[in-house]
Amino acid sequence: MSQDPKARIVTTRFAPSPNGHLHLGHAYAAICAHDFARAHGGRFLLRIEDIDGTRSRPEFVGGILADMQWLGLCFDGDVIFQSARVDSYRQALEQLHAMGLVYKCICTRGDIAAAIQAKAVRHGPDGPVYPGTCRGRDVPADKPYCWRLDMGKALDRAGPIGWTDLIAGDQFGDAAQFGDIVLWRKDAPASYHLAATLDDAADEITYIVRGKDLFAYTAVHRLLQNLLGLLQPAYWHHELFCDDNGEKLAKSRSSAALSALRAGGRDGKEIAQMLRSGKLPLGISLSNS
């Protein structure tokens, strides 16, 4: 299959995690992905990222489906659930293991905090970078462990990381800034990075439409695509919404939940039109960062 997204049927996806109520920022992400696909006669998929057993709750899935309908957004095919695809994530981990690019890490949060105190470490977009304590060491068999990517080896193997963003243009991503990221968690199967990257390839997504808050992670996702020989999509990282205090909307702060607007009798299609036209409802604004 061609690696050029322009040579394939335009396919986008909305990929919410069912760990809370969707807010207007999610609605905007879904609208961007939906409208882009429809404008190009393409496909728009809905993927529920439900592998985080500690935070995902089935009852939020029904809310997501109701929100989509309320906004007037139809998706193609069946709803995709990450929880049904864990075998494919495991196979990819085994492939990376066979390539010598992953290692077991038994460090607890406390171990990592202590190691960071003890020696100066780099800071990446997600905070202090894992100091590599378990890299190259035999770990005791009876301890819970996660799998980390050996970032140095992975980058040597993959070569330069480049990708195209429809707004920001051609990018040379810096995956090294994240250090040895977790690919398989102690408390859940695959990490977001591994699962989302594999799913986007399996579903032949040509344009990944998502918020700017995920921009830096794209270098990691492109790295995994290179290592695993996956399809390489293009990206559109759209603007984020902020509340009256200038803070990014977040489920954790119960920002303007769509379910509350729905229950309050607001017209979802009208709200969707407001978001499209930039006449933003309810005291929110687009960030320019």
Binding site for ligand GLU (CB under 6 A): 15-17, 49, 196, 210, 214
Beta strands of the chain (E only): which ranges? 11-14, 43-48, 80-81, 102-105, 123-124, 127-128, 146-149, 162-165, 169-172, 182-184, 207-211, 234-238, 241-242, 285-286
How far apart, in whole angstroms, are the C-alpha atoms of residue 176 and residue 89? 22
**Residue 15 or 71: which CB sits closer to ligand GLU?**
15
CB of 198 to ligand GLU, least distance (A): 12
Name which of 43 and 104 has its Cβ closer to ligand GLU: 43
Using CA atoms, how far apart are residues 256 and 164, in angstroms rounded to an integer?
A: 32
- Find the shortest distance in angstroms from Cβ 140 to ligand GLU: 33
Distance CA 31, CA 29 (A): 5
- CB of residue 84 to ligand GLU, shortest distance in Å: 16
- In angstroms, the CA 138 to CA 104 distance is 8
30 or 154: CB nearest ligand GLU: 30
Report which residue's Cβ sits closest to ligand GLU.
210
Nearer CB in complex with ligand GLU: 13/148: 13
CB 15 → ligand GLU: shortest distance, Å? 4
Nearer to ligand GLU, 250 or 260 (CB): 250
To ligand GLU, the closest distance from the beta carbon of 192 in angstroms equals 7
Assess contact for 286 and 28: CB atoms under 8 A. no
Q: Residue by residue, what is the 3-state secondary structure of 126-142?
A: CEECCCCCCCCCCCCCC
Concatenating the DSSP letter of every residue in 66-110 gives HHHHHHT---SSSPEEGGGGHHHHHHHHHHHHHTT-EEEE---HH
Query: Within a 13 Å sphere around the CA of 193, how many CA atoms are in the beta-carbon half?
Result: 24
23 or 104: whose CB is closer to ligand GLU?
Answer: 23
Please state the closest distance from residue 7 (CB atom) to ligand GLU, in A. Answer: 23
CB 271 within 8 Å of CB 35: no
Residue 157 and residue 99: Cα distance in Å, rounded? 9
Nearer to ligand GLU, 16 or 179 (CB): 16
Q: Provide, rounded to whole angstroms, the least separation between the CB of residue 33 and ligand GLU.
A: 9
